[in-house]
Structure 1
């Protein structure tokens, strides 16, 4: 039981802690404040609750891709499309040209490689860029090296590397990595894809790739997968299953040196 004296002491500590935190927040010195255009983009980011699905430097939601370095990866045409008609699970926002320009300015000024890299799920960033980026680099290296199974085959399974590579590309151009994490279930419950080929039969896997699993929260793939795409993606998932141990080790090694300068992060510019 807390005595009245201890309760007063605890309350005093809490009030003091709040005061110290407040002082640190409002004394934050920002040597590179956002421009007017970027502040307008930040207002849109906040108004549309973008942080519910997206992250900056690992802070935010997990449903959509991390946008830390989106300005370096997404060209203007693609950005306009994303902010007007949406893509996959991202709803159409119907942004005007001025709003799109403001959001582009915000993303551009938040893209600061000197601070560090976020948990990227697109592109080919450098080492230490997060699990998804490291996973993609590990797969690229494995495909580029050929394999333990000899020239033209993957992982000793006799798979055609070209078909596996096509499946990997089909995976990358769709928002699969927005929900699925490498070698583990994601926080939103999406399963480990490296186990999919083993847990689902061929017919079930093909049906999931064609129709999704809406009742379990997985929408149909966008853009849709045709017969050739599904065959290639199946080959890629079989490749992941056959080489899971090696690819997981390579992914962990590439992500081990992830660097982030927390002290330079402009926290109060985007929450």
Structure 2
């Protein structure tokens, strides 16, 4: 049995331990606070319950795209369109210019690749990425390799056709600034029925060139695919078609590279902006 003296000693140890723990917690290095504009955007994010559908660093819902790195892949025109008139399953929010600017500031300050990337894209941009991030890194590397071979006058898997790497890169950029990845998954059909984009173009693709151009211009509303936003002009459609052909012709190599980049995922949990997550 504990004597009164030992009980007092035990209580003192418990109180001391609690005090030490409290000191350690509150002396941790804190993330930089948000700017005033970004705090206004955060208030909008919380008021509209955006986390119900969207994620930051793996925290949030799964219905909409991960917005961890939205600032670096969605241009201002597209963002304003999404926040005002919506797109697909996202309802129109009718944001004013001031509200759109505040949300843009919030997304910009939350986009911190030194911590991690969307879909728990853990580690550096070149390794340990989530499936979609790894896919993007693999495509970027393949386009760079194709451009290098073209400058050197060489050939190889990434230069199997006469496609211009610059046009392929432009098509990839057009793909990234639109919410294509919200429905289309890399190298497989998505749960909502969106097809594998690496199988739609090229000599063995599921769509003839004219049909593909029509889909890129008008979408397939009756099948659940809305018209692209922002709209694709003729040059954009040609570039995006070149990108889809590039995917088809290099599918095996890109799929293998994506699997390698998606392995061994890591995240700097200590640097996460936990002050953001309620």
TM-score in terms of structure 2 length: 0.67
Distance in 2 (CA, whole Å) between partners of 1:225 and 1:105 is: 27
Check the 8 A contact 2:54/2:60 in 1, yes or no. Answer: yes
Deviations 1:62-89 (A, max 9, x none): 45432224466678x6698368546655
1:249 corresponds to which residue?
Answer: 256
Deviations 1:99-131 (A, max 9, x none): 854x4675466555565333289xx94432322
Which has the higher Rg, Structure 1 or Structure 2? 2
Residues 116 and 172 of structure 1: CA distance in aligned 2, closer, same or farther (over 3 Å) = closer
2:229 corresponds to which residue?
Answer: 222
Would you say 1:194 and 2:201 are equivalent positions?
Answer: no
Residues 143 and 42 of structure 1: CA distance in aligned 2, closer, same or farther (over 3 Å) = closer
Residues 83 and 93 of structure 1: CA distance in aligned 2, closer, same or farther (over 3 Å) = farther
Q: Pick the aligned partner of 1:185 from 174, 185, 189.
A: 189
Query: What is the CA-CA distance between 1:208 and the residue it aligns to?
Result: 0.8
Distance in 2 (CA, whole Å) between partners of 1:72 and 1:158 is: 30
Q: Pick the aligned partner of 1:156 from 160, 168, 172.
A: 160
Matched ranges for 1:129-148 at <5 A: 129-146=129-146
Would you say 1:81 and 2:88 are equivalent positions?
Answer: no
CA RMSD of aligned residues (A): 3.8
Distance in 2 (CA, whole Å) between partners of 1:105 and 1:86 is: 20
Check the 8 A contact 1:64/1:179 in 2, yes or no. Answer: no
Residues 84 and 183 of structure 1: CA distance in aligned 2, closer, same or farther (over 3 Å) = closer
Residues 63 and 159 of structure 1: CA distance in aligned 2, closer, same or farther (over 3 Å) = farther
Distance in 1 (CA, whole Å) between partners of 2:73 and 2:215 is: 29
Residues 265 and 165 of structure 1: CA distance in aligned 2, closer, same or farther (over 3 Å) = closer
TM-score in terms of structure 1 length: 0.69
SS of the residue 1:199 aligns to: coil
Matched ranges for 1:1-271 at <5 A: 32=30, 41-70=41-70, 81=80, 85=84, 88-89=87-88, 91-95=92-96, 97=98, 100-101=101-102, 103=103, 107=107, 110-111=110-111, 115-119=115-119, 125-146=125-146, 151=154, 154-197=158-201, 198-261=205-268, 269-270=276-277
Query: What is the CA-CA distance between 1:60 and the residue it aligns to?
Result: 3.0
Distance in 1 (CA, whole Å) between partners of 2:170 and 2:74 is: 21
Distance in 2 (CA, whole Å) between partners of 1:252 and 1:229 is: 29
Count of residues in correspondence between the two structures:
240
Check the 8 A contact 1:193/1:237 in 2, yes or no. Answer: yes
